[in-house]
Structure 1
Amino acid sequence: MLSGVLFDLDGTLLDTAEDFVHIIQAMLQEHGRPPAAAELIRAQVSDGSIGMLSTAFELSPEAAAFAALREDFLSRYEQGLAVHTRPFPGISELLDWLDAEQLPWGVVTNKLSRFSIPLLEQTGLASRCASLVCPDQVARGKPDPESALKACSEMQIDPAGCIFVGDHLRDIQAGRAAGMATIAALYGYLPADEDHLAWQATHSVQHASELLPWLQQRHQPETSHV
């Protein structure tokens, strides 16, 4: 039976892309550059500020100007990290069900604590989240299983009964390496050419609203045949 759920943060639990798009478009305008396609930025969210900025500005991370550009981006994001961010449709209902069933849920992210903690606070999820594990809290981030196992330890659950939900290959790899069932969140920030079948997730969903019925079925006790 289901004992708990772990979520990736950006692109799985929360739709954070719109805040990134607004910041990058403003920066492009200030640098005299044309706007970038929103979907182009969205597809790079899982690769963090480096992926988004290098794509939008067509600039290598090794370029001399990149470090200052990234610091400007991070400063702007820290000041307005939940302006447009919302849970994906269907996530609020899922979290309500998990809380009602007294099933703990947590977040395992590659987003630093300096952003993740206030983001959960500003979206009203911090007090409900049983564990938040960020890369600066572990020796090895995803795809290593360390962060997923740390979250299960904090939630006091067996990893074998936990489900890891994520929109990136490293989420599925971390969950599998930790001995968990996994769900590929295909509604997240995947590049158009991504082959999610190669991830070998236990299950996949096209919309966040599909998570609840699947998890409810998973939570049903096995039928006795005696």
Structure 2
Amino acid sequence: MRQELGSVLFDLDGTLLDTAPDMHAALVTLMAEYDRAPLPFDAVRNHVSHGSQALVALGFPDAEPAFAEHLKARYLEIYARDLCLATALFPGLSELLEACEARGWSLGVVTNKPGWLTDPLLDALGLRSRLAAVVSGDTLPQRKPAPEPMWLAARQTGLAPAQHCYWGDAERDIAAGRAAGMPTLIANWGYIDAQQEPEHWGADGALDHPGDFWAWYRTALRPEAGLAS
């Protein structure tokens, strides 16, 4: 029998926050510095969860490894400068966070984004003070899909791993949550490209909208409770 939930943890890019507009803008700026035509937003959006290295590879597929590292460093400089111009919570997540808080649940973020980007981004959106757990990609030697970041988040909230539900939009998110002993959900609004097969990730469920969580919670975890959302 599952333990009662007391926390929801989120991946950051593509799950909690729509960072794609600002990450795309940084790539456009970088490409312009090298007189390259910009890639359209739709060609970039679903690659954002793979990080800066993947985005640079999109814009500069012919770059040699050493030059690609230089481009990545420059990309991160540009992105950090304009980190939160268009980034926002995905629709429905503000209400979801408030509903979780009303229940007395903890909230948290476990991301592979480095802390020097994660922390100012959360601060800019007024989210940091609402989160009981924040684990970034450089907080520990291990990153997702390893379970260690998930376990650290659980220690930060003071709850058992099984009392957390982890939401993500990449296979590594689901793998990390499962390995940590947490129920996992796929955020279908996230950055999932056509080559991925989320139906094979082994998640406990998938959400088309954040508000769908409460129906999943009632049927999957509390079928006997009939709780109102």
Fold equivalence (TM over 0.5): yes
Map of 2:34 onto structure 1 = 31
1:38-91 C-alpha deviation (Å, 9 max, x unpaired): 12211211111000010122234x433222211111111111111100000011
1:128-174 C-alpha deviation (Å, 9 max, x unpaired): 01110012111211001100011011101111121010000000001
Task: Find out whether 1:7 has 2:10 as its counterpart.
Answer: yes
Map of 1:114 onto structure 2 = 116
SS of the residue 1:137 aligns to: coil
Q: Distance in 2 between matches of 1:118 and 1:198?
A: 34
Deviation of 1:217 (Å):
6.0
**Letter in structure 2 aligned against 1:180:** M
How high is the TM-score relative to the length of structure 1? 0.92
Map of 1:16 onto structure 2 = 19
Identity of aligned residues (%): 38
Map of 2:178 onto structure 1 = 176
| RMSD over equivalenced CA pairs, Å | 1.9
How high is the TM-score relative to the length of structure 2? 0.91
Map of 2:156 onto structure 1 = 154
Deviation of 1:220 (Å):
5.1
Deviation of 1:216 (Å):
6.1
The question of whether the paired residues in 1 share the 8 Å contact of 2:52 and 2:72 is answered with yes
1:201 to 200, 203, 209: 203
SS of the residue 2:8 aligns to: strand
Aligned pairs for 1:64-213 (under 5 A) are 64-213=66-215
Q: Distance in 2 between matches of 1:147 and 1:208?
A: 23
Structure 1: gaps (5+ residues): none
**Letter in structure 2 aligned against 1:59:** D
